[in-house]
A = this chain, B = another copy of it.
Amino acid sequence: MGETAFVIEPGRHDIVMIRHFAAPREAVFRAVTDPELVPRWWGPHSLATRVDRMEIRPGGHWRYVNIDAEGREYAFRGVYHDVVAPERYVRTWQYEGTPEDVALETVTLAEADDGGTRYVAQSVHQSVEARDAVVRADAARGGRESMDRLAELLAALP
Stretch of A41-49, A56-64, A66-74 lying at the B interface: A56-64
For the complex formed, measure the closest distance between the CB of A93 and the CB atoms of chain B, giving whole angstroms. 9
**13 extra interchain contacts, Cβ-Cβ under 8 A, other than A12-B128, A79-B80?**
A11-B11, A11-B12, A13-B14, A14-B126, A58-B61, A58-B79, A59-B79, A79-B79, A81-B92, A82-B102, A92-B104, A104-B126, A124-B124
A117 part of interface (Cβ distance < 8 Å): no
Write out the residue numbers on chain B whose beta carbons fall within 8 Å of the beta carbon of A59: 59-61, 79
Q: In whole angstroms, what is the CA distance A92 to B93 when docked?
A: 11
**Chain B residues with CB under 8 A of A81:** 78-79, 92, 94, 102
A57 to chain B, nearest CB (A): 10
Count copies of this chain in the complex: 2
Q: Could you list some 6 contacts between A and B, CB below 8 A?
A: A11-B12, A12-B128, A59-B60, A78-B81, A92-B104, A124-B124
Cβ of A106 under 8 Å from chain B: yes
The complex places the Cα of A82 from the Cα of B60 at a distance, in Å, of 13
A90 to B99, CA, bound (A): 11
Contact of A125 among B80, B92, B102, B124 (CB under 8 A): B124
